[in-house]
Amino acid sequence: MSQEAPGRVAVVTGGASGIGLGVVRHLRAAGHQVAALDLQDDALAAAAADLDVLTAQVDVSDRTAVDAAMDRVRSELGPISIIVTSAGIDGNKPFAEISADDWERTLRVNLTGTFNAVQSAVPDLVAGGWGRIITISSSSAQQGAGNRAHYIASKGGVIALTKALSYEYAPLGITANTIPPSIIDTPMSRDSPEMGAHLDAVAGMTPVRRLGTPDDIGAAAAFLASDAAGFITGQQINVNGGWYM
Ligand code: NAP
């Protein structure tokens, strides 16, 4: 049995809220040092106080800001080994009503934001000869759903990007996997105009008869970030209670 190397450095985008915060909790519990990058300043401050994590207020679609945050992580915590991308925005509109701005903004945050964070961190993973890239996509991109074509296209891009990275980086000791959650009980799903009022019904239709939680995703991400998951790459790790949406 190999021993888990303690205290690797992990960066989690969207780490102040919902799924990202669940991932931060589980990576901290696994003994890693964690930096949480997010737009939400107050929530970042709360995470820093509760979980002893480095925080940086960053828009992941702003490459200069992302690069500056990664440099801060390197100088304060050391080389990055684990990058988890959870920062994202929702989208709820019929296809015919999606404006060019809606489309561009959703792709810029969800897909380009993932590209920015991973590309900015990955030189450390390569230099260390060990790394974990974990993206948060969406089961809606596996199954399709109405009234969210821009969101679903962005998350389909995240799945495809992750698969591409798995091929390129596997020979260098770096795995790349995506977790496509179904409905998880977070501020995003509670605020959703389509889903927010129907979460109890969603829970009832889910085979496990409950909504997913940020801890469900955090536990899976912590496993993917571990030494034990070194032979898993290029995969969509479905954490969805048996339900695709
Ligand atoms: P959440 O609670 O809203 O958390 C997302 C965090 O990312 C928020 O703190 C948000 O800040 C931040 N963020 C948004 N845009 C950002 C940007 N440009 N730069 C940096 N941070 C930014 O949502 P969640 O439910 O945990 O979602 C996390 C990820 O899971 C998202 O990518 C989402 O698409 C995906 N997902 C969620 C579900 C679900 O049911 N909840 C299902 C499938 C996939 P603001 O609040 O200020 O925007």
Q: Which of 238, 82, 230, 88 is nearest to 157 (CA)?
A: 88
Which pLDDT band, with edges at 50, 70 and 90, does 118 fall under?
very high
- Spatial separation of the C-alpha atoms in residues 104 and 101, rounded to whole Å: 5
Residue 80's CATH number: 3.40.50.720
**Residue 108: how many other CB atoms lie within 10 Å:** 17
The 3-state DSSP class for residue 110 equals helix
pLDDT digits (tens, 9 = 90+) for 168-181: 999 999 999 999 99
**The Cα angle at residue 171 between residues 170 and 174, in degrees rounded to 5:** 40
66 lies in a domain? Answer: yes
**Residue 151: how many other CB atoms lie within 10 Å:** 24
The pTM (predicted TM-score) of the whole model is 0.98
- Please identify, by atom number, the ligand 1 atom nearest to the C-alpha of residue 61: 18
- Please state the φ and ψ torsions of residue 236, each to the nearest 5 degrees: -100, 110
If one residue of 12, 38, 105 were mutated to test the ligand 1 pocket, choosing by the most ligand atoms within 8 A of its CB, it would be: 38
Q: State in Å: Cα 86 to ligand 1 middle.
A: 6
168 lies in a domain? Answer: yes
pLDDT digits (tens, 9 = 90+) for 78-90: 999 999 999 999 9
Which pLDDT band, with edges at 50, 70 and 90, does 4 fall under?
low
Ligand 1 touching residue 184 (CB < 6 A) = yes
Q: Work out how many domains the chain is built from and give that number.
A: 1
CA torsion sign for 80, 83, 89, 95 is positive
Output the pLDDT for position 6: 64
203 lies in a domain? Answer: no
Ligand 1 touching residue 183 (CB < 6 A) = yes
60 lies in a domain? Answer: yes
85 lies in a domain? Answer: yes
The residues, any chain, with a CB within 8 Å of residue 63's CB and separated by 6 or more, are 116, 120
80 lies in a domain? Answer: yes
The domain of 225 spans: 9-184+213-229
Which pLDDT band, with edges at 50, 70 and 90, does 3 fall under?
very low
DSSP E strands in 71-222: the ranges are 82-85, 131-136, 174-179
Q: Judge whether 51 and 28 are in contact, CB under 8 Å.
A: yes
Active site residues: 151
Q: How much is the average pLDDT of 126-145?
A: 97
Q: What is the DSSP letter of 4?
A: P
pLDDT digits (tens, 9 = 90+) for 54-98: 999 999 999 999 999 999 999 999 999 999 999 999 999 999 999
39 lies in a domain? Answer: yes
Ligand 1 touching residue 126 (CB < 6 A) = no
**The Cα angle at residue 67 between residues 221 and 234, in degrees rounded to 5:** 35
pLDDT digits (tens, 9 = 90+) for 149-158: 999 999 999 9
Q: Which of 189, 215, 216 is nearest to 202 (CA)?
A: 189
Ligand 1 touching residue 218 (CB < 6 A) = no
- Please state the φ and ψ torsions of residue 158, each to the nearest 5 degrees: -65, -40
- Spatial separation of the C-alpha atoms in residues 174 and 19, rounded to whole Å: 23
236 lies in a domain? Answer: no
The residues, any chain, with a CB within 8 Å of residue 210's CB and separated by 6 or more, are 203, 241
pLDDT digits (tens, 9 = 90+) for 179-196: 999 999 999 999 998 889
Q: Judge whether 91 and 147 are in contact, CB under 8 Å.
A: no
Q: Which of 1, 43, 52, 49 is nearest to 20 (CA)?
A: 43
